[in-house]
Amino acid sequence: MPNIKKSTGKRGPRKRKLAEEFPPGEVFTDLLKKKWKLGPVIGKGGFGCLYLADVNSSESVTSDAPYVIKVEPSDNGPLFTELSFYMRAAKPELIKKWISSHKLKYLGVPKYWGSGLHQKNGKSYRFMVMDRLGKDLQKIFEEQGKRFSRKTVLQLGLRILNVLEYIHEHEYVHGDIKASNLLLGHEIPNQVYLVDYGLAFRYSPEGNHKDYKENPKRCHDGTLEFTSIDAHKGATPSRRGDLEILGYCMICWLSGSLPWEDNLKNPDYVKESKIRYTDNISGFMLKCFTKEDKPDEISRYMEKVMTLSYTEKPPYQELREIFLQGLQDIGHKDDGILDFEVLLNGDVPAKPKLSFIYLSLSRILTPNMWPICLKPRLVFIHEEGNL
């Protein structure tokens, strides 16, 4: 579940110290004196490493370890920002209480289990212990030909809305929602978790919303193709910005790309394109989809989000209802299942393990009995998947 990766974002360059890799078996002690043992590295970026981990014991950390430890040099900024969020908003008891009070099956926020400083060879390292998670959505998106089904996109939208409502109610915004920051559950792959709070911002400390103020030094913070118009202008992240970013992600997951991706080297072009397209949501949808395939629920969602003021509390339930209606319109319901195994258009994901079902069906069906979807092309499924 590597959460540390080279970002596709266009963040300004900052000098940070490189990470040192620790050997398996190294023991870290958190602020509450709980000891954690490192396993192998499972993710490595320019400034930090991600390790499998478990509570310290005489045993080695196994491949099914339930935790990960993220480690960076102590004077690097992103992990400090993440820690501030996790310590305030991601304690297991807070998440459990929210799940219960909102009658949810789960909440896609990784649980925080501990943190501290670790000294090694005269150097100081900051670390954080979290739930172990699975594969990121960007890898799955690319494996599936850069398309998700409409049902899956709406299911993802519902789950991410739940996360955003939670973190917003705990005074934070995320600021960098994208497929590579969305990880499936390690044991329950139909669950999706929002990670990487390195750009998280406490927009409303003690209930006092920050004023809108543009800072030229912060223009275009985030991941350029998805970041909000507010962020393009240098304003600090906001609740409406998170929802705008989610909208761009959903459009990309459905259509395969966004109209401004042809010139990502020019941040101002991207900003002006977003302003132009969000001023005309109907035209935006027609640019990304055919008239027949246009997802009306995404149009309604974007229209609602783009009317929000900077400090306005979003109508989360109203937005969820839009997605639920979209599921109903295509003959589905919110069953929580992410149908990654088979694409709706019959295309085959890149390099999957496949079972060829043509011969099996030909033994029991005559040609005039073949399902319509199988007549023009052959259909493949994952060996380990379900239709």
Q: Tell me the per-residue pLDDT of 59-114, one tens digit each, with 9 for 90 and over.
A: 999 999 999 999 999 887 778 889 999 999 999 999 999 999 999 999 999 999 99
- CB-facing half-sphere around the CA of 185: CA atoms within 13 A: 15
Report pLDDT for 383.
35
What's the rounded Cα separation, in Å, for the pair 174 and 162?
Answer: 13
- Residue 198 carries which DSSP code? T
Calpha distance 1→66 (Å, rounded): 12
Does 384 score more than 60 pLDDT? no
Q: What is the pLDDT of residues 339-367, one digit of tens each?
A: 875 343 334 344 443 333 333 444 444 44
Rounded Cα–Cα distance for residues 368 and 379 (Å): 17
Beta strands 182-185 and 133-136, pairing class: antiparallel
CB 181 within 8 A of CB 1: no
| pLDDT at residue 377, as a whole number | 35
**More confident call, 350 vs 36:** 36
> Does residue 267 register a pLDDT over 70?
yes
Range scoring the smallest mean pLDDT among 234-238, 264-268, 319-323, 359-363: 359-363
Percentage of the residues of the chain whose pLDDT score is greater than 70:
82
pLDDT in tens, 139-159: 999 999 999 999 999 999 999
Residue 305 has pLDDT above 60, yes or no: yes
* 58: number of Cβ within 10 Å: 5
Mean pLDDT of all residues in 5-25: 62
Which residues participate in the annotated binding site for ATP?
70
| E strand segments, 132-191 | 133-136, 172-173, 182-185
Please state the residue numbers annotated as binding site: 70
In this predicted structure, what is the pLDDT of residue 376? 37
Tell me, what's the pLDDT at 78?
77
The chain-wide mean pLDDT, for the chain, equals 86
Q: Residue length, the chain?
A: 387
176 in active site: yes
What pLDDT is stored for residue 341 in this prediction? 58
- pLDDT tens by residue, 193-214: 999 998 899 999 999 999 999 9
Residue 236 φ/ψ, nearest 5 degrees: -70, 155
Give the integer Cα–Cα distance in Å for 238 and 205.
13
Burial of residue 376 (number of CB atoms within 10 Å: 0-12, 13-18, 19+): exposed
Report CA-CA distances (Å) from 372 to 225, 239, 274, 354.
38, 45, 39, 21
d(CA 315, CA 248): 18
Give the active site residue among 30, 136, 176, 221.
176
Q: Which residue has the higher pLDDT, 145 or 382?
A: 145
